[in-house]
A = this chain, B = another copy of it.
Amino acid sequence: MNVDLKQERKNASFQVEKITHILDGSPDRTSRRRELENIIRNDPSGIFDNSNNNYLHRTDRHVRAMAKGVRMLEIARKIGIGAGDKKSTIRNGPLEEGELMLSEDFFLLVNAVADELPLYLHWVMFVPNIRSLCDDEQQKLWLPLCRDFRMIGCYAQTELGHGSNVRALETTATFISEAEGGGKDGSWKIHSPTLTSSKFWPGTLGRTANTAMVIARLIDGDKVDRGIHNFLVPLRNSDSHKMLPGVTVGDIGPKIGYNNMDNGFAIFNNVIIPRRNMAMRFASVDKHGKYMKKSVDEATSKVAYITMMLVRAWIVDQAGKSLAFACTITTRYSAVRRQGFDESQPKVVQNNGITKLKPEKQVLDYTQQQHRIFPLIAASYCFFFTGRHLMKYLQHIENQLVSGTGSVTKTQVSDLHASSSSLKSLCTIISADGIEECRKACGGHGFLVSSGLPELLTSYLQNPTVEGDNHMLPQQSVHVLLKLVQVVSEGDEDGIMAYEKCDSKYLIKPMQRILSGDKAACTAQNLNEIMDLDLLLEAYQHRSARLLLEVANELQTKIGEGTKMNVAWNELLVEMARMSRAHAYAILLSNFTHGIKEVQSDPKLSVGKEEVEVLTDCAYLFAVYYIEKDLGDFLEDSYLEKSQTSLIRKAVLHMLSKIRSNAVALVDSWDFSDFRLKSALGRNDGNVYPAILEAAKKDPLNATNEGPGYVHLKKLYVDGVAKYDNFSGTASRL
């Protein structure tokens, strides 16, 4: 164990294990996680060894990832994760056939592999889609095939020329009647009418899936375009895995990250599928080609919506985890890494004629290094508590919907849409930028793939774009919040009441205050007074309310001046993004502080005051750091004044120095094993330098003594000049 890391761990004021239990949910869950991680790590097949990942050609890594996925599923079957396991984090209630794998333990097993598994999408996207979009008979037919991997599916929505604007998709599914050769029961003709309609991006579509849930425009028997619907399209023969007639699928080529995955393209050339391959839960077409919408009760449609938002909650949670991975690596390495002499001490220690340099400073002691890393540690915890809160709240709502108890209102659901949009957008960008900042904060060695940070970063980088582009979501959030402005402006008491259980409820009071003309301002006069989480939260809430009102006002003004709505809207997109960020920050800080309170009273956890204190320190740092970062927002309406900005800056430095001695312990608490970290710099024992060198030597470029490019290089020799050999021959070993 590196002596510096040892000392850091000794300095911690709290028990690491207790925070680990918070992060896992309970001591039992911690044990179970470790147990499953051991099973993977010690699997006799050896297939889970990740130590050569970085040296493989992409094709080899993809094939190896497939082998890992298969072995992992074999293990899951063997130890009874699946059939015997009835707990799920994604849905409440008992799991059903075909969905068995969406359990907490299954996720633990997947995470334990610590490599990207293409097969994963079959369970987390394809199977849930069959369940939510297909009718009972279809589910009964297809789910057993999914369970047994006769049907390996993917969800094929985006097209080469079409991303988030789903209504613009071009792929067609045209009804073929018996008279047109569609058989007695009728058929569908799936077709890609243009190059831009090629399906593009769906994970596992390229080389893994034999079936796709294809989103296409439905043209019914009357040749009427009924818009976007889902169709189950076979892609490959399930025995030979060869492409079926009319189907061209392939991998879309290397990406900046996530290259185990075969994101794919598909071109359909008049592919005929049975009529009943249309997903028929919400609409159907009969054998005469007649289109019918099915009446679905409101709860069912809301549940489908909740599922989408659970994915967002999961993304927020993952943003925290991914960031914590990066923080773990960088914090540990910054404790081990020493650079720069302490100028107040002599530089060279002479000892018996042998020169010895005195040790340099720990990099973690530089305030600018703390300023780069510690707020990210705080953010990782903040995202954990927010993801946890969102998940619980969504499950609570889903319970009510499924059981028919309680009353879930439209306002609640659309408000969740707003907050989850804002949160997804902000958390994923903080995390993506934060991972890259952690990488840079490791100096040159952060550039090495063996540091673990490049792959962590490049794989993470999809998140700001997928599941709603971060630059598209904010306007959706503001669109919803503008309704609240109307309610508050009009003093509509009933309308206000409807926000009782909503995340955006906090906006009401500060908006009312601003509208009434009361001057709002921060009252803190010294460091002590500003270190008050309620006061800081109020600042965030005020900013959010102010920016929302400004967007509403500007929109109204523009419309009043005769600007068309779509033009005015476009002109306000930058401001909407700012408002959406402000909204997310207010929710994040609130969830952070509430989360800390909640775990204190959780009987499964024995959280002590030391653990509460260090988590609260993180909440403080989060609060003051992100005010400092967006200082203009708080100054421009004089909510903060000049003297308070220097208080904020002082508070940031104060919190950095307070967290310093707990920094390593805070990242240790996430309990990421070396097997999962895959980082020469982030090793638990701190022996980073031998690990870097060992990793370097593995590169196949080093396979031969002479350089592999020398065969070309020597062509440059010019004859007739003095031979260099005479010179180089002088090098020798004593």
Contact = CB atoms under 8 A, between A and B. Distances in A.
A447 B208 contact: no
Interface in A444-494: 444, 446-450, 453-454, 457-458, 461-462, 464-466, 469-471
Contact of A573 (B210, B217, B368, B632): B368
Nearest to A634: B632
Contacts of A233: 731
Q: How many of chain A's residues touch chain B, expressed as a range?
A: 35 or more
A396 interface: no
A256 B457 contact: yes
Contacts of A247: 731
Interface in A131-171: 144-145, 147-152, 158, 160-165, 167-168, 170
Given A66-B713, A145-B722, A355 B225 contact: yes
A73 to B, nearest CB: 6
Nearest to A453: B256
A360 B196 CA distance: 13
A145 B731 contact: no
A503 interface: no
A572 B653 CA distance: 10
A184 to B, nearest CB: 13
Interface stretch (A8-16, A610-618, A697-705): A697-705
A317 B733 CA distance: 45
Q: How many copies does the complex hold?
A: 2
The A contact surface, by secondary structure, is mixed
Contact of A237 (B145, B242, B572, B728): B728
B63 A574 contact: no
Nearest to A367: B573
Nearest to A225: B355
Contacts of A708: 59, 62-63, 207
A426 interface: no
Contact of A167 (B149, B163, B189, B347): B347
A81 to B, nearest CB: 15
A57 B61 CA distance: 12
A253 B444 contact: no
Contacts of A44: none
A365 B223 contact: no
Contacts of A699: 58, 250-254
B469 A443 contact: yes
Contacts of A296: none
B148 A244 contact: no
A709 B65 contact: yes
Given A208-B707, A239-B725, A574 B702 contact: no
B728 A244 contact: yes
A514 to B, nearest CB: 14
A692 B246 contact: no
Nearest to A462: B447
A689 interface: yes
B653 A645 contact: no
A208 to B, nearest CB: 6
B465 A440 contact: yes
A732 B689 contact: no
User: 7 shortest A-B CB distances, which residue pairs?
Assistant: A631-B632, A66-B709, A207-B707, A246-B733, A150-B724, A256-B454, A241-B706
A503 to B, nearest CB: 24
A727 to B, nearest CB: 7
Among A338, A368, A461, chain B packs the most CB atoms within 10 A around the CB of A368
Interface stretch (A32-40, A266-274, A400-408): A266-274
A213 to B, nearest CB: 14
A118 B369 CA distance: 32
A357 interface: yes
A577 interface: yes
